[in-house]
């Protein structure tokens, strides 16, 4: 294990970096932070100090605490969205590859249509229908990512379905479900892992953009995107809320992207030899 960590320094760094942020978010209530909702009007827009490590916002709320709770909001929204889209898109892509024929054609056509929209625009359209909220944002991101997952999984699934061991399994009379769960799924695991991490990284940016535009999390929810849009009104007076919130979004998204990138190297031995 230690040898592995030494060999894959980038991967280990990515794991620690992501784990740290996720743990902060998960255990936020146990960290003894200040109440992220508590407004102390006399403490408005104060710079970093021993009491408020990262300063306070326009309502005198502690920025550090709001950022860590913002991680919670962001991760909750994005993880929900990515899981939903993985379930929907992954299932569709896999079944399309397995059954082929008209089912494949119809599903992939449908995915082509969803894919034709610019990502953020489709998310905005979904929210225009559902109304702005974090759940609206989660569903919007899930819908946007469904065609991406279906395309990503269909390709490798097609290759596996053509492989000799699947043909062999069919020959000895294995049922569809047995083949899908026992042969198809385990062999797709590495693709899924890498892409989930990369798409989570992108989802964090989409969620932040939506909240920034007022289409995601609503005040007073602690949200990184929202902090940026509120902070920009006081930019010259107090740049830190916007600056720190931006760093938080960057770190979170960066961590998952690096993790996905490093995972790809680790899981795909062909790439490892090259680089």
Contact range with other proteins by CB under 8 A, out of 23-31, 45-53, 86-94, 207-215: 207-215
Is 150 a binding residue for other proteins by CB under 8 A? The answer is no
Interacting residue with other proteins among 63, 242, 263, 266 (CB under 8 A): 242
Instruction: State which residue, 1 or 116, has the beta carbon closest to other proteins.
Output: 116
Choosing from 23, 26, 35, 112, the residue that interacts with other proteins (CB under 8 A) is: 112
> Which residues between 219 and 238 bind other proteins (CB under 8 A)?
228, 231-232, 235-236
Residues binding other proteins: what is the number (CB under 8 A)?
43
Angle at the Cα of 93 from the Cα atoms of 88 and 94, rounded to 5 degrees? 100
Provide the 3-class DSSP secondary structure of residue 96.
Answer: helix
17 binds other proteins (CB under 8 A): no
Q: CB–CB of 220/37 below 8 Å?
A: yes
Interface residues for other proteins in 162-181 (CB under 8 A)?
none
State yes or no: residue 196 binds other proteins (CB under 8 A): no
Interior/surface letters 3-25, b for 16+ CB within 10 angstroms, e for the rest: eeeeebeebeebbebbeebbebb
**β partners of residue 62:** 56
Minimum Å gap between C-beta 41 and other proteins is 25
Distance CA 87, CA 81 (A): 10
- Kindly indicate which of the ranges 30-38, 46-54, 108-116, 176-184 contains the residues binding other proteins, using the contact rule CB under 8 A: 108-116
Distances (CA, A) of 169 to 95, 129, 156, 180: 17, 46, 18, 11
Q: What is the C-alpha separation between 195 and 264, in angstroms, rounded? A: 9
User: What is the signed CA dihedral for 145, 146, 150, 152, rounded to 10 degrees?
Assistant: 10
Residue 105 lies near other proteins (rule: CB under 8 A): no
110: contact with other proteins by CB under 8 A:
yes
Binder of other proteins out of 58, 254, 267, 268 (CB under 8 A): 254
Question: Are the beta carbons of 57 and 45 closer than 8 angstroms?
Answer: yes
DSSP-assigned beta bridge partners for residue 56: 62
Query: Which of 18, 179, 258, 263: binder of other proteins (CB under 8 A)?
Result: 258
Secondary structure letter of residue 216 according to DSSP: S
CB 211 within 8 A of CB 223: yes
Among positions 108, 127, 200, 226, the unique one binding other proteins when judged by CB under 8 A: 127
Name the packing angle between helices 134-162 and 164-171 (round to 10°).
80
Nearer to other proteins, 33 or 79 (CB): 79
**Residues at the site binding other proteins, with contacts judged by CB under 8 A:** 10, 109-110, 112-114, 116-121, 124-125, 127-130, 201, 205, 208-209, 212-215, 228, 231-232, 235-236, 239, 242-243, 245-246, 249-250, 253-254, 257-258, 261
């Amino acid at each position: 294990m230690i040898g592995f960590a030494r060999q894959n320094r980038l991967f280990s760094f990515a794991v620690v970096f992501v784990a740290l942020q996720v743990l902060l978010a998960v255990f936020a209530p146990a960290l003894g932070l200040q109440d992220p909702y508590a407004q102390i009007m006399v403490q408005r827009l104060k710079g970093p100090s021993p009491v408020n490590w990262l300063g306070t916002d326009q309502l005198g709320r502690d920025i550090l605490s709001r950022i860590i709770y913002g991680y919670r909001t962001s991760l909750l929204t994005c993880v929900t969205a990515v899981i939903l889209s993985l379930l929907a898109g992954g299932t569709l892509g896999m079944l399309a590859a397995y059954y082929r024929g008209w089912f494949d054609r119809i599903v992939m056509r449908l995915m082509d249509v969803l894919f034709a929209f610019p990502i953020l625009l489709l998310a905005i359209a979904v929210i225009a229908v559902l109304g702005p909220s974090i759940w609206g944002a989660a569903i919007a991101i899930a819908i946007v990512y469904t065609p991406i997952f279906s395309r990503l999984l269909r390709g490798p699934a097609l290759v596996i379905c053509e492989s000799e061991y699947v043909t062999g399994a069919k020959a000895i009379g294995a049922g569809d479900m047995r083949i899908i769960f026992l042969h198809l799924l385990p062999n797709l695991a590495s693709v899924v892992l890498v892409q989930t991490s990369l798409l989570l990284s992108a989802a964090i940016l989409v969620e932040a953009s939506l909240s920034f535009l007022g289409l995601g999390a609503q005040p007073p929810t602690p949200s990184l995107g929202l902090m940026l849009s509120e902070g920009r009104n006081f930019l010259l007076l107090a740049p830190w809320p916007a600056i720190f919130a931006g760093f938080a979004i960057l770190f979170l998204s960066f961590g998952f992207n690096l993790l996905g990138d490093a995972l790809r190297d680790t899981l795909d031995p062909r790439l490892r030899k090259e680089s």
